[in-house]
């Protein structure tokens, strides 16, 4: 199955599973089924963090340098399906213990036709 091969090749490129917290509050390491590194077996592209990890996209970084206290930002996200510069990574380095947050926008086109 092609998608399983793509998934396993992702591991060879140092990608972890595409996980998420489920409705019960438990972490499920495969829960992001919109990504090739999530549950098998629908054809789909990598999600925003994995595309960035592979060097296939560039993202906007937001941290304490670019977002000061009491400031706001308006952000427009381009579709990952069309544009190489399409995501945002928020590093909350103004506090401790927070993992980076990625924002991405994907449309059901091109390699992501299977998205609902």
For each of the chain's 116 residues, which pLDDT tens digit applies? 788 888 889 999 999 999 888 788 888 888 887 888 988 777 788 889 999 999 999 999 999 888 887 888 888 898 888 888 889 999 988 888 888 999 998 887 776 777 76
Instruction: Say if strands 85-90 and 101-103 run parallel, antiparallel, or are unpaired.
Output: antiparallel
The DSSP 8-state label assigned to residue 111 in this structure reads G
- Is the pTM of the predicted complex or chain greater than 0.85? no
The H helix count followed by the E strand count for the chain is 2, 5
**SS3 of residue 9 by DSSP:** helix
Q: Are 108 and 114 in contact (CB under 8 A)?
A: yes
């Amino acid at each position: 199955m092609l998608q399983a091969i793509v998934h396993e090749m992702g591991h060879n490129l140092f990608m972890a599973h595409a996980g998420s917290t489920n409705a019960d509050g438990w972490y499920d390491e495969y829960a992001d089924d919109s990504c090739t590194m999530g549950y098998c077996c629908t054809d789909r592209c990598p999600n925003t963090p994995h595309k960035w990890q592979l060097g296939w996209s560039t993202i906007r970084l937001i941290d304490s340098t670019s977002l000061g206290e009491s400031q706001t930002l308006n952000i427009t996200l381009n579709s990952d399906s069309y544009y190489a510069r399409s995501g945002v990574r928020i590093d909350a380095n103004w506090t401790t213990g927070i993992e980076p947050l990625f924002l991405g926008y994907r449309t059901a086109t091109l390699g992501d036709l299977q998205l609902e």
